[in-house]
Structure 1
Amino acid sequence: MLAAVSTPSFRPSSQATAASRDRDDACPGALRLHTADDGALARIRIPGGVLRVDQAQALGRAARDLGDGELHLTSRGNVQLRGLESGCGAELAQRLSNAGLLPSWRHERVRNVVASPLSGLDGRGFVDVQPWLRELDALVCASEAAARLSGRFLFALDDGRGDVATLGADVTVRAAPGGGAWLRVGASDAVVSVRFEEAPRAALLAAEVFLEAADGRAWRMSELTGQTSVLVSETVRRLQAAEPTATPAWRVTAEPPSGPVTAANGTTSLSVLAPLGRLTAPQWSELTASAVHELRLTPWRGVILPTAPTSRLSHLAAAGLITDPASPWAGVGACIGRPGCAKSHADVRADAATALGPTGGLPVYWSGCERRCGRPRGDHVDVVAEQGGGHQVSVVRDGLAQAMPRNPSQLAATVAAARTQDHSHDQ
């Protein structure tokens, strides 16, 4: 257990700066709906993307009865319901509460946790992080301080394979070989070693330290410029842990491929992707019918069906889900675009469909405007619709963007070239 240390709030360095936030975080939730051009929008947090079958069925009924019938997966493994009727907020909240999807109404927007979706299923990680996930969610919901976190603050629980550790979370816990875990605060170059059973509490404590340092001025760790080392040191002091060490060299694993996933003991799970993260009512029904006991939504807008039989793959493919890693839809994402968003300059989902090409290479993300809502972390091709028409195509590597030559009549070819060409040294 972590040592109980009672300390007053610490004062951050006078040389550190934070973004000035003169308004409340307007990130939508299940109780705070957002008004879009296609109706109200609800964003329902699903920690680790884990849904029991009955919970998934409840979400499907809510989408059908109150909205446009579709479910939209986010880059954090959450679910958005769109086209909701005006005044349906109370009924939606009651439905979600009855399904166990609102364990704490005060914390519903801050239950942002991504976790290795294949953990415990394929034998590739060091540990099964599902116990961490359940404990961290319970700790967050029980913390008075955590209720003040922004709806944008993110926890990541990585089983050691290196998939969600690369998603830019504010607090990352990664399983270490031989037992134990590494805690990383923001994008710090150092990690704190903690015992396996201490990891969830250590993650929450790091978030609480952030809240004290931010004092309402920042929503994400990255906004506390110059304070990373201070946050790490204070977290270490309260944990009574050893001094932080340099980030160890660790492997990085890409998103789960589509198709069957077989463990060493022969147990098979299924991995599918939703084209552009959009699931129609029939597709969602097919997923819930194929699930054995739960579904796991991934940060790559996919769904894992633990221990589901391979015979269900043909049914899922027939419903229009991506079951083949060679599908041209693999690695293609987009924001909602027109007509759902008033700020969008184009119907980027239709644009993405017309520009599908050979699979492989960098993922590509289509944005309807410069806000780039939902864009992925890491290297990717960035396609942004411009006011007045046209698209800007750029290759993003190591956080740096390089624009491709403009050729409006050859947009599909430009995107395909950007995905496959090596621009890593062209600066």
Structure 2
Amino acid sequence: MPPTPDATAPGAAVPDRGHADACPGALRLHTADDGGLARVRLPGGLLTDRQALALAEAAEALGDGELETTSRGNVQLRGLAPDCGAELADRLRAVGLLPSDTHERVRNIVASPLAGLDAAGTADVQAWVRELDARLCANDWAAGLSGKFLFALDDGRGDVAALDADVTLIAAPRGPALLRLGRGDHGHPVEAGQEVTAVLDAARAFLDALRGAGRAAWHLREVPELLPAGTVPLPGFAGTAVAAPIGALPGGLSVGLRFGRASGAQWRALVAASAGELRLTPWRGAVLPGAPADRLPALAAAGFRTEPGSAWERASACTGLPGCAKSLADVRADAARALDGGASAPRGGGLPVHWSGCERRCGHPAGQWVDVLATGQGYRVTVNGPAATAGTPAGVPVDVTNEEMAAAVVEARRTTK
């Protein structure tokens, strides 16, 4: 059975988790229809060339030969044999991708992938990432966090502040950084130099409050009454997700992966084009700091998205058939046909769109998004999320055949955010 998805549907009752989450890790493999699945946490999405090559080699030697990026900038290996766990762990340890056996599933940290590459941000979030990761692994109490608990470190541009993290740290151009707990539009000011300490204190307070209340929960947003609300209004960007642009950037290159999947050969092409570092993004792409623009044609030839404005911008899908037995369709194949054959994105990109094979909607975006749900006879297209209501055209489900799906998706993506 796949791990329970993170999100709670709008309007649904908040769950009281009576059991530990089954979120996979590098040591705890999930059994899927296509074999074992391992999820390797990459705080901030950061990879050296050596680490990226080691992942490609592991996928080819132990799995199906491909790597899959996630909406948290982590990476998954699929098609693993049941007895390969020890060898996979050894390979990861050898390149520094498994610094702690006891804490490996709680190293869920997203960070602004363009930090330091342009003038849009105001903080060195990469330093925050490294400090937070090291201190998480060094504290015994942190192992009690769910494998779904998420930290977000935003350099002030607003790109990861809208990802519904449990604890979000947002840099400010003037004044202290702001700490947001769960969802909401207010934060707590943080003293300079104490940013990571404040993040860790919030996570520990959440665990302590759960114990005091005799509850079990995976996310801070499930029990917001246990921690104090913020006092300072957050910047206006805090509710709008902003994906990293595709193509040549002021400080490097940015490319997209179709549904986050890449073969070992494609990963080697990324390494060949890089300047020594890769940053996987929460939008299933990769940023190559310092890489020159003349390397884009080789990346395009390798199958990466290198130009903005295509229908594939902010398009995602769950695993679907044949990898997941719960799915009612091969959603990735159906989605690819729609995106390649007419489901063009409207000017400005429009809303994110996500194809799901069942009601679990694994991996769907945060905020408002176009929900394309397999029904067994076709798909149901709805604009989902906090701005969608059942009394408006955007919030009314539309049942379509596979042939009608592309046009319905285009129309839904035009919905104003």
Provide the TM-score with structure 2 as the length reference.
Answer: 0.90
395, 408, 412: which one aligns with 1:414: 408
Cα distance in 1 for partners of 2:411, 2:186 equals 37
Q: Deviations over 1:203-261 (max 9, x none)?
A: 0110000001122611101221x51xx4127xxxxxxxxxx523233335611111011
- The one-letter code of the counterpart of 1:393 is V
Q: Which residue of 2 aligns with 1:223?
A: 222
Q: Which residue of 1 aligns with 2:301?
A: 318
Cα distance in 2 for partners of 1:91, 1:286 equals 25
247, 260, 266: which one aligns with 2:248: 260
Aligned-pair distance for 1:332? 1.3
Q: Which residue of 2 aligns with 1:166?
A: 162
1:246 and 2:232 correspond: yes
1:198 and 2:191 correspond: no
Q: Which residue of 1 aligns with 2:5?
A: none
Cα distance in 2 for partners of 1:19, 1:390 equals 30
Q: Deviations over 1:258-302 (max 9, x none)?
A: 10111xxxxx30000001111112211100111112100000000
Distance 1:143 1:394, change over 3 A: same
Cα distance in 2 for partners of 1:403, 1:53 equals 47
Aligned-pair distance for 1:411? 1.4
1:394 and 2:386 correspond: no
- The one-letter code of the counterpart of 2:246 is S
Distance 1:20 1:358, change over 3 A: closer
- The one-letter code of the counterpart of 1:415 is V
- The one-letter code of the counterpart of 2:17 is R
Aligned-pair distance for 1:19? 3.5
Aligned-pair distance for 1:28? 0.3
Cα distance in 1 for partners of 2:387, 2:362 equals 16
188, 210, 213: which one aligns with 1:214: 210
CA contact (8 A) 1:383 1:392 kept: yes
Matches within 5 A, 1:120-131: 120-131=116-127
Q: Which residue of 1 aligns with 2:7?
A: none
Q: Deviations over 1:119-152 (max 9, x none)?
A: 0111211122111111111111111111000000
- The one-letter code of the counterpart of 1:105 is D
- The one-letter code of the counterpart of 2:350 is G
Cα distance in 2 for partners of 1:205, 1:195 equals 13
Q: Which residue of 2 aligns with 1:96?
A: 92
Q: Deviations over 1:386-425 (max 9, x none)?
A: 2x32211001252535134333241111111111244x6x
Q: Which residue of 2 aligns with 1:381?
A: 370
Q: Which residue of 2 aligns with 1:291?
A: 274
- The one-letter code of the counterpart of 1:245 is T
Q: Which residue of 1 aligns with 2:17?
A: 21
CA contact (8 A) 2:241 2:367 kept: no
1:72 and 2:60 correspond: no
Aligned-pair distance for 1:187? 1.3
Cα distance in 2 for partners of 1:173, 1:304 equals 21
Q: Deviations over 1:144-172 (max 9, x none)?
A: 11100000000000000111010000000
- The one-letter code of the counterpart of 1:375 is H
Distance 1:32 1:358, change over 3 A: same
Cα distance in 2 for partners of 1:115, 1:368 equals 29
| 3-state secondary structure, aligned to 1:340 | coil
1:368 and 2:357 correspond: yes
- The one-letter code of the counterpart of 2:152 is A
- The one-letter code of the counterpart of 1:406 is D
1:154 and 2:150 correspond: yes
Distance 1:82 1:253, change over 3 A: closer
- The one-letter code of the counterpart of 1:222 is R
- Over the aligned positions, Cα root-mean-square deviation in angstroms equals 1.6
- The one-letter code of the counterpart of 2:407 is A
| 3-state secondary structure, aligned to 2:295 | helix
141, 145, 170: which one aligns with 2:141: 145
Distance 1:335 1:18, change over 3 A: closer
CA contact (8 A) 2:379 2:400 kept: no
Aligned-pair distance for 1:331? 1.9
Cα distance in 2 for partners of 1:134, 1:338 equals 37
Aligned-pair distance for 1:321? 0.3
CA contact (8 A) 1:71 1:278 kept: yes
Distance 1:311 1:102, change over 3 A: same
CA contact (8 A) 2:19 2:216 kept: no
396, 399, 406: which one aligns with 1:403: 396
Cα distance in 2 for partners of 1:332, 1:318 equals 21
CA contact (8 A) 2:351 2:415 kept: no
281, 288, 294: which one aligns with 1:305: 288
CA contact (8 A) 1:63 1:69 kept: yes
Cα distance in 1 for partners of 2:139, 2:23 equals 20
Provide the TM-score with structure 1 as the length reference.
Answer: 0.88
| 3-state secondary structure, aligned to 2:287 | strand
Q: Which residue of 2 aligns with 1:10?
A: none
CA contact (8 A) 2:162 2:241 kept: no
Matched residues, number:
388
Deviating 4+ runs (over 4 angstroms): none
- The one-letter code of the counterpart of 1:279 is A
Cα distance in 1 for partners of 2:413, 2:63 equals 35
Aligned-pair distance for 1:179? 4.8
For structure 1, the 5+ residue unaligned runs are: 1-16, 234-243, 263-267
- The one-letter code of the counterpart of 2:235 is A
| 3-state secondary structure, aligned to 2:106 | coil
